[in-house]
Structures are given as C-alpha cells and as structure tokens.
Amino acid sequence: MFMPFYIDSYYIILVLPALLLALWAQMRVSGTYNKFSRVRTSRGFTGQEVARMILDQNGLYNVRVERIPGNLSDSYDPKANVVRLSEGVYGSATIAAAGIAAHECGHAVQHAAGYAPLKLRSAVIPATNIGSTLAIPLLLIGFLLNSYPLVLIGLIGYGMMALFQLITLPVEYNASSRAMAVISQNHILDEEEQKGARKVLSAAALTYVAALIASLAQLLRLFLLFGGRRRR
C-alpha cells in the first residue's frame, strides 16, 4: 500500500533531506528576522511609513497598507489592493521591518507593471489548487485499478505544485531586488543597514528554494513509487 507519507527508502533518500533543508531554512529566516528586528534604523521610518513611501513614489496611491496579526505573515493582496504588514513590521522602525515592508511593496509594483512571472504564477494557481487536492487520490486509484492514465494525471497534478514553486522563485527574488533598489535610492537605510535588510530578504528567499527542492523530491518519489510500477 502506497500512502503519501508512507516511509519508504525513497522517502528517506529523497524527501527527508529536502524537509530537513526546509526546516533549516525556516529556522534561518526566523533567526535572521529576530536579530534585525531588534536593530532600529538611523532614520526611524516604520514599516508602514516605508511601504507608504514606496507605493506613493510609484503612483500606487490606491494600494492600502494594513496591520495584520501574526509574525512574518506579511503579504500583498492584488485583488484587494492592499499590502498587509504583520504587527512586528507595521509600526516598527527596524532594519527587518524596512526590508520586509519594501519587499511586499515590490510585489505591488510588479502587479502594477504587469510583471510576467507574477501574472504566470497567478494563472497557474487554480490548476495548482486542483492538483494538490486530487494528485494523491488519483495516484492511488490509478495504481489500484492498473490505470496508467490516472497515475499520469496524478503525477501531472502534483507536478503543478512544483511548477508553482519554480515560478515563485523569480517573483520573490525580483521583489527583493526592487525593494533593495528603492531602499538605496531613497536612503531609507544607510549602507550598513542595507546589508542587514539584504540578509533578511536573502534568508526569506531561501525558504522558497527549499520549498521547490522539497516539491521536486516528493514528485520524484511519487514517480518512482507509482509511475515506475506500471503493470502490463
């Protein structure tokens, strides 16, 4: 019997190391964030002020900046036209807050500019959601019924999640690049503080790399378990 979290040799060899990498990446981003969330900036701009400054500079006066609960729960919602900043970012004048606020505004600027990878990521979200829901059931049913077409559809469905993670990488790295450029051009942070903000954003980007590796490892495992067991 082949379940999604069945502990087999493929899981140990492929998936477990990827999950450990993802765990390490998450610990790194938390540690880096905690370190630079305690360092106040010389100019004293809060995350909300940084966000508003960047949005207005790009003519995005209609994009709101809101405070939301949680830690590292910051996001940009293109449907609602709002940048949501967590409690530790919104009202804090720290290096971490400035970097994260600028990063989320980078997504708003991407959206306004019609940045192609962002549009592509939005386009594949429905297929990704369907694939994540149906992939494992289709793999199991296809294997039990000896239906390779169902197995193939299941693998493609799971592959959509890996594709989503792959498309996410340029979107996140570009948002960080835009953020650091604006921070530098507007002298929001001095040169030494910019190094700290860059470390925060680099640590966050690593979590997306780890998520992609984990998705690819699981996809390869599922292919070896199901796709490689086609019965004649």
The band of 6, judged by pLDDT with boundaries at 50, 70 and 90, is: low
The reported pLDDT for the residue numbered 8 is: 79
Ramachandran angles phi, psi of 32, nearest 5°:
-65, -40
Average pLDDT value for the chain: 92
The band of 53, judged by pLDDT with boundaries at 50, 70 and 90, is: very high
Cβ atoms of residues 154 and 226 within 8 Å = yes
Reply yes or no on whether 193 is catalytic.
Answer: no
Single out the residue of 154, 167, 169, 168 nearest to residue 219, CA to CA. Answer: 154
CA atoms within 13 A on the CB side of 151: 18
The band of 1, judged by pLDDT with boundaries at 50, 70 and 90, is: very low
**Strand, helix or coil for residue 67:** strand
For residue 10, pLDDT over 50 is answered with yes
d(CA 179, CA 110): 11
CA atoms within 13 A on the CB side of 105: 34
For residue 201, pLDDT over 70 is answered with yes
- Please write the tens of the pLDDT for every residue from 98-107: 999 999 999 9
**Strand, helix or coil for residue 85:** strand
The reported pLDDT for the residue numbered 77 is: 96
- 49, 104, 172, 193: the catalytic one is 104
Share of residues in the chain with pLDDT > 70 (%): 95
Count Cβ neighbours within 10 Å for each residue of 209-232 and write b for 16 or more, e otherwise.
bbbbbbbbbbbbbbbebbbeeeee
Residues 44-67, mean pLDDT to the nearest whole number:
96
d(CA 130, CA 127): 5
For residue 229, pLDDT over 70 is answered with no
- How is residue 147 written in tokens? 């239906």
Cβ atoms of residues 55 and 83 within 8 Å = yes
The band of 143, judged by pLDDT with boundaries at 50, 70 and 90, is: confident
Cβ atoms of residues 163 and 124 within 8 Å = yes
For residue 152, pLDDT over 70 is answered with yes
- How is residue 47 written in tokens? 């995350």
Residue boundaries of the structural domains of the chain:
9-229
